[in-house]
């Protein structure tokens, strides 16, 4: 018989970190203007930079130690592959370095309208099977959230896929998420066959302006089998209208085929055109264009990784409402 959850059997341990941890910069690499966004989670740093004239985000991640930030770039198309480029910052200056050259970086911090903080928490759920065997299920979430409660209630319930209602603080969101995940997994388990699950997810700002936020929610979830499932989900929010922006809010009806054809060409026709056309709802925006992201299994096998393609607004002008 499948086990029906009783919430009083949860044993929960929390470890929390709160701090203001989002920085925006304008500056240059060599003579070329850039913008940079850095999300901090302790010593871990995750973010993006993009050349102002192109607007295509370049993913960077690394550590902040001994007064320096050392970041590595990721491959622009397949994020499984690292590039040989790195960024080293000390204060607001530093350099960009590849195998063949080194360029100076100069940055100037920029203000944003509200403070962003990191909510980093780990919870251990303990379940007793048949009153005898106990197993512990870890859920760890590190998400960037705004101290503006209206904005928090717009963004966080959507990325965590919890009930869309008013939450008084980030803890309420996390508690709701924890219980929801527990219920989802155990609704499919049998008492006679104890199962395992683990969740390690993060959420960071990818792009932010006075009107638009692109938010990346990613991680690794395991619920049995040979391996877990790594994913990258993207969400775009109109912070002036206080709403999420979906594909149909941007593009005219019937745009899927044309967009798929552009992606198909960028991909050098390695994958199926129809797979692109059927999976265009995972996207982000910058001031210069839109990126479409395809998770594992969507256009290729699990081992082939996650694919990310960016299209300039100039190529999309006839398709935008």
The domain ranges of the chain are 22-110, 247-280+288-316
The phi, psi pair for 171, rounded to 5°, reads -60, -40
- The model's pTM: 0.88
pLDDT in the model for residue 239: 92
295 close to 283: Cβ distance less than 8 angstroms: no
pLDDT in the model for residue 12: 40
pLDDT in the model for residue 194: 64
pLDDT in the model for residue 84: 73
Mean pLDDT by 10 residues, the chain (321 residues): 36 42 94 96 94 92 94 71 82 94 95 88 80 77 94 96 94 93 75 76 94 95 77 96 96 95 91 91 95 91 88 95 93
Checking DSSP bridges between strand 102-110 and strand 32-41, what pairing results, if any? unpaired
Nearest to 107 by CA among 206, 40, 42, 23: 23
Nearest to 249 by CA among 313, 307, 319: 319
The phi, psi pair for 247, rounded to 5°, reads -55, -45
Alpha carbons 198 and 140: distance in angstroms, whole number: 8
pLDDT in the model for residue 2: 36
The phi, psi pair for 50, rounded to 5°, reads -150, 145
């Amino acid at each position: 018989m499948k086990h029906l959850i009783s919430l009083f059997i949860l044993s929960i341990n929390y470890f929390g970190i709160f701090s203001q941890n989002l920085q925006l910069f304008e500056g240059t690499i060599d003579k070329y203007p850039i913008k940079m966004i850095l999300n901090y989670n302790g010593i871990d740093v995750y973010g993006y930079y993009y050349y102002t004239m192109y607007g295509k985000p370049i993913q960077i991640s690394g550590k902040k130690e001994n007064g320096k930030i050392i970041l590595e770039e990721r491959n622009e198309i397949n994020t499984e592959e690292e590039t040989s480029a790195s960024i080293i910052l000390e204060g607001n200056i530093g350099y960009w370095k590849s195998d063949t050259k080194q360029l100076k970086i100069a940055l100037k911090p920029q203000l944003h309208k509200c403070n962003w903080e990191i909510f980093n928490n780990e919870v251990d759920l303990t379940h007793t099977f048949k009153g005898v065997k106990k197993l512990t299920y870890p859920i760890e979430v590190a998400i960037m959230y705004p101290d503006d409660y209206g904005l928090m209630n717009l963004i966080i319930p959507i990325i965590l896929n919890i009930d869309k209602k008013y939450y008084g603080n980030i803890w309420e969101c996390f508690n709701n998420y924890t219980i929801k995940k527990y219920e989802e997994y155990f609704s499919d388990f049998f008492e006679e066959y104890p199962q395992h699950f683990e969740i390690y997810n993060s959420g960071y700002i990818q792009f932010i302006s006075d009107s638009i936020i692109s938010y990346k929610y990613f991680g690794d979830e395991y619920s049995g089998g040979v391996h877990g499932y790594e994913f990258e989900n993207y969400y775009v929010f109109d912070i002036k209208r206080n709403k999420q922006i979906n594909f149909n809010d941007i593009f005219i009806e019937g745009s899927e085929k044309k967009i798929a054809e552009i992606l198909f060409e960028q991909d050098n026709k390695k994958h199926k055109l129809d797979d692109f056309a059927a999976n265009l709802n995972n996207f982000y925006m910058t001031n210069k264009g839109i990126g479409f992201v395809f998770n594992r299994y969507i256009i290729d096998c699990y081992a082939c990784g996650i694919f990310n393609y960016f299209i300039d607004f100039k190529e999309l002008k006839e398709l935008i409402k």
